[in-house]
Amino acid sequence: MLFFSFFKTLVDQEVTVELKNDIEIRGTLKTVDQYLNLKLDNVICLNEDKYPHMQSVKNLFIRGSTVRYVHMSSNTVDCTLLQDASRREAMAQSAK
């Protein structure tokens, strides 16, 4: 659940989502759920001539399982904190 919490802190930030089929979409992250499905507002598709139907899309729901990368501004992430938290969670998991 750590990355779910992490994505919740990114709500209202601008992110770029790269899907497994190479579509890149930039937009404001609106919601995220436990499957890391994402909802973006004010979307622009970065390779729009390849996917012309994306031009008139206002907001987008993306299923988490089709996402390859989420790019975000480095000042929105505290990497040390995230690394620390990941380790703690891994330790808590293995202790069970």
Partner 1 sequence: MAEPGPNVEDLYLESYAFTTAAAIVGSVDRKIFVLMRDGRKLFGILRTFDQFANLVLQDAVERIYLNDENDDNLSPQRYSEAYRGVFMIRGENVVMMGELDIDTEDDHLEKLQKIPFPEAETELKARQAAKIKTELAKSKTLLAKGLINDFVKSDLY
- Other beta carbons within 10 angstroms of residue 10's beta carbon come to 18
Query: Which x/- pattern over 3-32 shows residues binding partner 1 (rule: CB under 8 A)?
Result: -x---x----------xxx--------xxx
Radius of gyration for the chain, computed over Cα atoms and rounded to the nearest angstrom? 15
Amino acid identity of residue 55, one-letter, is Q
Nearest approach in angstroms of CB 1 to partner 1 is 11
| Nearer of residues 66 and 83 to partner 1, judged by Cβ | 66
Residue 63 DSSP code:
-
- Kindly state the smallest distance separating residue 44's Cβ from partner 1, in Å: 12
CA quadruple 96, 79, 74, 13: dihedral positive or negative? positive
Taking CB under 8 A as the rule, which mask of x and - marks residues 51-80 in contact with partner 1?
A: -xxxxxxxxxxxx--x--------------
